[in-house]
Structure 1
Amino acid sequence: MTATLQTASPRKSTGASISIDAVSKKYGDNTVLEAVDLDIRAGEFLTLLGASGSGKSTLLNIIAGFIRPNSGTVKVDGRDITSLPPHKRGFGMVFQHYALFPHMSVADNVAFPLKRQKVAKNEIRTRVAEALEMVELGHLGNRRPAELSGGQQQRVALARAIVFRPRVLLMDEPLGALDKLLREQLQLEIRRLHQEMGITFVFVTHDQDEALMMSDRIALLRNGRIVQLGTPEQLYAEPNCRYSAEFVGASNIFTGTIQANGFIDDADGQHYRIPEGADRDGRSLMIRPERLHIATETAFVPESMNRVEAIVEDCIYLGSSRTVQLRTPAGRRLLARTDVPRVPDGVVPGARVYAYWDVHDSRVLD
């Protein structure tokens, strides 16, 4: 599991609330969004997460005003803006491609939206300096975009989006073109900016680790609908369906049926105990890899635990942790993830072991 970043409490919110009511969008016979309802709280960091074609970017562009829905409304602080053009909504916008003017300096790029609004020159200088300091580029105002790294260029794009002090900042996969290290650095920077500014952030990504790290809440989309809405912890620890469990984080999933005495695996008929109050109509049993333990002998498995015999297929070293790939006699593949010091001796490819888990660490899903 990717831990959610814990930060200091943000200053008082200056952001706007956004209410999306029954928004649908079609292109011919293709339904991209279907009656989507979503309330975004003032000042929160909400991520629209989903695979390609899920409708997340379309929904963001409807909020921005670049796309008109076929039906439904978009309201900001209770005011209907569905028919309002983008330039009158007052939102900041950051795209994956920086769209900087190559012939202008960094400072002039950031000042551009203020000049279009005919803001006084002294005020422009003050706001540009403030915005560049917020993204830690105050010393590079005289450079051209070509003289900056990709991460620095994306920071310039961020500064340009916040320089006119919007109440809402929309971001469409802004880190998609960056390498892993730069992405991780800017994830922290964007989260810090949100905490400092207190405005509403709506962020689009297909990267579940990015969503878990940065968000206050996540809306997971599939086929134009919101599958689950909740905090990162809720989506990871309490997925409401199999799709959510598989999309957000790695998971071990058994397919079967629930009978009076528990969950029966379709693959081999093996019986597993389930948590009290589990959905009796569920067809899947999910256990996260870090909740799956390994023992080399049955004597090491507590009686209260569910267990299944397996063969070790591979052990992958990941620095502080190790991922062990397992295969059951019925052919089901499992993942266990644990701290390196906790991997038992004898857990090597080809070894016969027992995978086990606490009943309360599993979840029954539709």
Structure 2
Amino acid sequence: MAGCAAEEKTFRRFLELFLREMRPPLQENDPLPLRPLSNLLSEDEVEGECLDLCLQHLYKYNCPCSLAAALARATADSILQTDLSIHQINKTVEDGADPLPQLDSVKFARLVFNRLFETCCLWLKELPYRRRPQPYYETSIHAIKNMRRKMEDKHVIIPDFNTLFNIQVAEEQAFFAVFDGHGGVDAAIYAANQLHVNLVHQESFSQDPGEALCRAFKLTDERFVKKASREHLRCGTTGVVTFLRGRTLHVAWLGDSQVMLVRRGQAVELMKPHKPDREDEKQRIEALGGCVIWFGTWRVNGSLSVSRAIGDSEHKPYICGDADHSIFPLDGSEDYLILACDGFWDTVNPDEAVRVVSDHLQENAGDTTMVAHKLVASARDAGSSDNITVIVVFLRDPRSIIHPTLCQ
């Protein structure tokens, strides 16, 4: 795992501190470090749920990113080779319901945390060697509930995608996403845990990431609709994903969460959000027998203000799960990406967002730590009362953005 002595020392030090903090193997009645937000899991959710539980727990202790990805992968591989049938719940199947066997998510989480503990113990004795990954994209993230009663946003940061999925390729890959739930947080949680897993398992992933992203969105939607039927959930989520492979940026999205590229200090439009007042979306909905009407804002059948989403079973096919995607070659002149939900974009325009980032970098000598906080604050101050999530992904050294002659 460690590419040099200094990094190996850092990793070993983390493992020592982490094992000291973690309790011995969790027993049946011991509280969990993190409680799953869903009560039941189907077999196709196991890998994504395991990776998420591991990463969340490790990041709570400030685990180095590459080590967290490797530990999560090793733990998931071990779990996937385990007979999980003892954790299955036998439920009465209602007429027409999906008869998939389901797992008790609390018992499953206990198994995951205990297996993570075992993996850390083994690695402290003998740290596996892996190729040192390339430098990560520097990121700044901030998310707030704001004036809403509940926080229904979720976000995903995977700067070391290759390690998390044990992909042996020369090109660096990274995945960033924002999901904005409505009617509850279940769809956003599901998408945040499962979409990247569904992506990497697509046959087209290695050759055509754009197509794989669209297929992953569709599969995630189809599987969540089944889950919603089994568990009587009535919610949905928009989503925007950026997938970086080498010098190519892939963007895929459903709904009105958006990503913007900044190149040499100028905002570049990458996508058009799916809203009911878009003429092509309005025509699609009306062709299916639905309608778009004004009710405070333009809404599908007088209800939802987005025209595409994961979930929202009762509003399909008008609210469809077909993602759009775009591909952008990168030439090194790109500064950063801003991914955010509509709680940000509804009150902050692209030029204002660029100004906020530029001012912050100038005032802080290129330090990016609080960039996302400043952007969230600008949306709140401009009147946003919605949940707000912002991710800023720097595509080159932030110091070179404010000092163009530096780092050339």
- Work out whether the TM-score is over 0.5: no
Give the structure with the higher percent helix. Answer: 2
Which TM-score band applies after superposition, normalised by the shorter structure? under 0.3
Instruction: Report the TM-score when normalising by structure 1.
Output: 0.24
In our comparison, the structure showing a higher alpha carbon Rg is 1
Q: Which of the pair is proportionally richer in strand? A: 1
TM-score (norm 2): 0.22
